[in-house]
Amino acid sequence: MRSVGRWVRGFPRPRTLRARLTVGLVVLLAVSCAAVGVAVVIELNGFLTRRLDEQLAEAGPRFPASLEHSGALPDDHDGDERGDTRRQAAGTFGARLLDGAVTHAAVVRTAGTLNVKLTARDAGELAKVPVNGTGHTVDLSDLDDYRVVASRGVDGDVLITGLPLEPVEAAVHRLELVAGIVFGAALAIAGLAGALWVQWSLRPLSRVAETATRVSELPLASGEVTLPPRALESDQRSEVGRVAGAFDRMLGHVEDALTKRHTSEERLRRFAADASHELRTPVASVRGHAELALLHPGPVPPEVTRALERIAAESARMGEMVDEMLLLARLDAGRALQRDAVDLTRLVLDAVTDARAAGPGHHWTLELPKEPVTVTGDEHRLHQVLANLLANARIHTPEGTQVTVSLDSGSGTAVLTVHDNGPGIAGDVAPGVFERFTRADRRRTEDTGGGVGLGLSIVAAVSKAHEGTVSLQSSPGSTTFTVRLPTRDGT
């Protein structure tokens, strides 16, 4: 049983629904054909056997009785006319038993009768045949299978008449061969026709699967999305038709939702761009007036001076925020950047120098390759990427933190990493650290600069605009930002 289970488990199973339905159809048809074939063979064998029994009953014990009264046949006799062979078919077997022992045994031939030798096993088989006039099958050593009938003789002996089963077996075997050929051809034709029929019936489901595959390959996360054509409507009275119809309606809802989302995003982008553009002038005006008031030569109360300084500082910070929002809006709109040769090595040197001046309490380490690394892009925006990463490391780590900036290139990619051994980024913040307005430290204080969470968003947007990527790995005591950009020469 276990070996059968292992064989079934190891047998290759059909994967697709079409293959399963086709295999199931063929298996059911094969079982039906086998059942019909077995029933026909059994019925034919029984019918022919009953016909033999009728022939035996019609012939009666005349032939074995004639052997009893004519004496024993010689062992080498090959065609004796003794024995009543009238109305006896060729191959008819006759035997006389007295007290369980065979006294005479012969077979009717075309030219007469033939004495046969019976073994002890044959005699035992004949002795077991009940004397009730019903047919029984015995296997004689020299004569194969015979259908025999036993009857009581006039001298208290037992007379056995038999006919060979070879014609019956030949007819049954021929039927088995013909049935096997016919059923095999029927299975092959039915399998092919069933596969075509199942394929035709499942066409709507195949179209649904193809459409679902195309939809799964579309970039649904952002931007305008055009869904592929719908699966053709099918008969809604069938299960496949209902699935196709439901899938079409679902795609319609998805397309409506994506269209509304894209429209909303476009509206927000336009609003951010317009608002940022319109805010630049009043913010610059407020800042200018504050700085002008600070330059007044007359005496100014200290409270007023402090207020003017705060107005100028907050105006400058608001101006930076407006510029960042305007930059993100332009990048979202696909605004093309400058495409010049940029020496990334020099940019890293300049950015680290600025970071040392801004954060003297940190330990800054620089690791550069021997050869300059050149990329194609916008020098100002790439410098902004470096400045934002270093400012992020300076602002969000305590003094004394080791910050290591590394630059390397290979396989057509420039790899820039900024690593620090600070406290790390919280696990609930790290997944969305490159999203807009995400802050690792949600407390806005003057000491930390009170950023609004756009710096890393700009890093991600500018990297993407340069066909690059940025990633983060952070744990307590280790934070690493990695920026990958394609190099200019592809090496």
In a structure prediction context, what are the per-residue pLDDT tens digits for the chain, which is 491 residues long? 444 444 445 556 667 777 888 888 888 888 988 999 899 999 998 899 889 888 888 888 888 888 765 544 444 444 444 556 666 778 888 888 888 888 888 888 876 667 888 888 888 888 888 888 888 888 888 788 889 998 888 777 888 888 888 889 899 999 999 988 998 898 889 888 888 888 887 777 777 777 777 777 777 766 666 777 765 556 667 777 777 778 778 877 887 887 777 777 677 667 666 666 666 677 777 777 777 777 777 777 788 778 877 887 777 777 777 776 766 776 666 666 788 898 999 999 999 999 999 899 999 999 998 888 999 988 888 998 999 899 989 988 999 999 999 999 888 899 999 999 989 888 788 888 888 766 655 443 444 444 556 788 888 888 888 889 999 998 898 999 999 999 876 55
Calculated CA dihedral for residues 355, 357, 361, 364, nearest 10 degrees? 40
Report the C-alpha gap between 306 and 295 in whole angstroms.
13
Report the C-alpha gap between 229 and 214 in whole angstroms.
10
Contact 487, 412 (CB under 8 A): yes
Q: What is the pTM assigned to this prediction?
A: 0.48
> Residues 6 or more apart from 198 whose CB is under 8 A from it?
18, 21, 22, 25
CA nearest neighbour of 117 among 141, 82, 100, 139: 141
Q: Per DSSP, what are the bridge partners of residue 473? A: 480
- Sheet hosting strand 101-109, strand order edge to edge: 112-115, 101-109, 93-98, 158-164, 144-152, 136-140
CA nearest neighbour of 127 among 110, 103, 107: 103
Element (H, E) at 465: helix 455-465
- The phi, psi pair for 420, rounded to 5°, reads -140, 155
Report the C-alpha gap between 491 and 275 in whole angstroms.
43
